[in-house]
């Protein structure tokens, strides 16, 4: 379902709300869905199957997280990281572990053992990028610290912008937007209840069921 078709369907159900307001509600919905980690919401570098690496400098503990290049339907978009969910290293090549403690949450991928390091995560704001603050000196590196973070979905400002959730969950957006309209106009929120009580748990459970600790991007459509 394209954004254009979704807007048309919502307009039929709730006429008079207007395309601009509907697009804002679609953004709200995708932002809610992208607020928790799952294979759709975590950015993975296609050539490595891992999150991006962070360049660090000895003596510097705090870092703003760079934007990422995320490919959607063959088009590359520059997207922000909304929040870092963890910072991890390949344990066998990590020689700074006495400076920054490891978290004990090891996992394996392709015969390599990874483990998180201690760092505080500061979410992005409207005007500032997300940040991390290491709990020790990270040293000068370009190839140790993998930054796993929630991407900010493409902001839907026109009906030609692609959705970033899998096709089977697009009805969740419909229920959210129509539910918000009905709640504002008539105090009826049964669709909102369905979004929060049925769709959100289903989306998170279905997307994380059987997924690896690090997972590739989920295809999306126009």
Query: Within this chain, do residues 141 and 196 fall inside the same structural domain, yes or no?
Result: no
Question: Do 82 and 136 belong to one domain?
Answer: yes
Q: Are 191 and 179 in contact (CB under 8 A)?
A: yes
| Domain's final residue, options 133, 151, 169 | 151
- Are residues 59 and 26 both part of a single domain? no
Q: Are residues 144 and 57 in the same domain?
A: yes
The closest alpha carbon to 3, from 23, 20, 21, 29, belongs to 23
Assess whether 119 and 89 both reside in one domain.
yes
83 and 61, same domain (yes or no): yes
> Does 101 lie in the same domain as 169?
no
Nearest-10 crossing angle of helices 170-186, 19-33: 120
Q: Are residues 189 and 167 part of one domain? A: yes
Q: Provide the residue range defining the domain that includes 178.
A: 3-34+155-208
Residue 39 located in a structural domain: no
102 lies in some domain: yes
* Tens-digit pLDDT string for the chain (222 aa): 689 999 999 999 888 888 999 999 999 999 999 999 988 899 999 899 999 999 999 999 999 999 999 988 788 999 999 999 999 999 887 765 557 888 888 888 888 999 999 999 999 999 999 999 999 999 999 999 999 999 999 999 999 999 998 889 999 999 999 999 887 766 566 899 999 999 999 999 998 874 444 433 333 332
Q: Look-up: residue for tokens 């009826």? A: 188
């Amino acid at each position: 379902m394209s954004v254009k078709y979704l807007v048309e369907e919502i307009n039929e159900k709730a006429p008079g709300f207007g395309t601009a307001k509907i697009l804002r509600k679609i953004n709200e919905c995708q932002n809610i869905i992208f607020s928790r980690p799952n294979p759709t919401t975590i950015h993975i570098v296609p050539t490595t199957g891992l999150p991006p690496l962070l360049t660090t400098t000895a003596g510097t503990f705090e870092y703003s997280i760079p934007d990422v290049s995320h490919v959607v339907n063959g088009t590359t978009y520059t997207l922000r990281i909304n929040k870092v969910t963890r910072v991890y290293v390949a344990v066998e090549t990590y020689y700074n572990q006495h400076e920054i403690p490891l978290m004990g949450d090891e996992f394996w991928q392709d015969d390599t053992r990874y483990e998180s390091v201690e760092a505080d995560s500061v979410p992005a704001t409207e005007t500032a990028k997300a940040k991390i603050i290491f709990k020790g000196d990270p040293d000068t590196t370009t190839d140790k610290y993998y930054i796993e973070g929630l991407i900010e979905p493409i902001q839907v400002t026109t009906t030609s912008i692609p959705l970033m959730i899998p096709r089977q969950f697009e009805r969740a957006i419909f229920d959210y937007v129509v539910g918000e309209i009905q709640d504002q106009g008539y105090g009826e929120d049964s669709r909102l209840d369905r979004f929060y009580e049925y769709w959100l748990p289903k989306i998170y459970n279905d997307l994380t069921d059987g997924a690896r600790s690090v997972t590739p991007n989920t295809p999306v459509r126009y």
